[in-house]
Amino acid sequence: MTSATHSSAELPRYQPRTVEERAEQTRRAIVGAALEAFRTHGYEATTMGAIAALAGVSPRSLYRHYGSKGQLFAETVAMGSEDLLAYFAANLDRMPLREAILDAACGATVDANEQNRALLHLASTEREMSRFLHMTTQRMIPPLADILRTSAGVSIENAEPIVWETRATALIGALTCGFQYWAATPDSDVREQLSRAVDTVLPILQTASGNEESVR
């Protein structure tokens, strides 16, 4: 009889998760389910009960994390915003500013189909969704300002915070406007609408301030 061969690799050990880790996992499952439901069925047709079922959680657990469908929609937008910032920061190392902005905006957003066009239009007109959307875009300003400053080669010691946050605010406003016009204009092209909006603020982004170097 031959002896059993044992693997030299160690068996996995049980690692208990903290309450915070479990809550984060549940949150991600909920947001992922909501995003898929919104994309597939639209905002109006999606119910909180359906999102809970898709996420594999109870409605009670869902409401513990998100008090309304509008708040949950804002969280899906926040995820897209994080993707946009990551794309943008990476793009600035390999392409000019204008192309970096447009490529990041188009690459981080959902597919340009009619369901998402209607969803974005609703987000800009429905009161609760608009409020949460505004809060989300405001949170983007400081990290976007840092990306713009860093790409320009300006150290944080030499930077004027008001200048870079103003530029970030202008860029976010342009992107928001571009998306809103695309959503409100049937048969329009999302990149074309974004280009028109971005080109309006591009001179502001490329203008030097004081001893700071121009954004390339």
Helix (H) / strand (E) containing 162: helix 161-184
What is the reported pLDDT for 125?
A: 73
| CATH architecture of residue range(s) 70-206 | Orthogonal Bundle (1.10)
What is the reported pLDDT for 109?
A: 55
Q: CA 103 to CA 94: how far, in whole Å?
A: 12
pLDDT digits (tens, 9 = 90+) for 35-67: 888 877 877 889 999 999 999 999 999 999 998
**Structural domain spans, the chain:** 19-67, 70-206
E strands within the chain?
none
Radius of gyration of the chain (CA): 22
Percentage of residues of the chain with pLDDT beyond 90: 37
Residue 202, token pair as written in the block: 């591009």
**Residue with the two structure tokens 């549940």:** 26
Q: Out of 1.10.10.60, 3.30.70.3280, 3.40.190.10, 1.10.3720.10, select the CATH number for domain 19-67.
A: 1.10.10.60
Q: Are 80 and 109 in contact (CB under 8 A)?
A: yes
What is the reported pLDDT for 212?
A: 47
pLDDT band at residue 197 under the 50/70/90 scheme: very high
Dihedral sign (CA 2, 3, 9, 12): positive
pLDDT digits (tens, 9 = 90+) for 163-192: 999 999 999 999 989 988 888 888 888 899
Provide the angle, in degrees to the nearest 10, between the axes of the packed helices 114-125 and 19-41.
110
The CA dihedral of 43, 129, 83, 194, to the nearest 10 degrees, is: 90
| pTM for the structure as a whole | 0.73
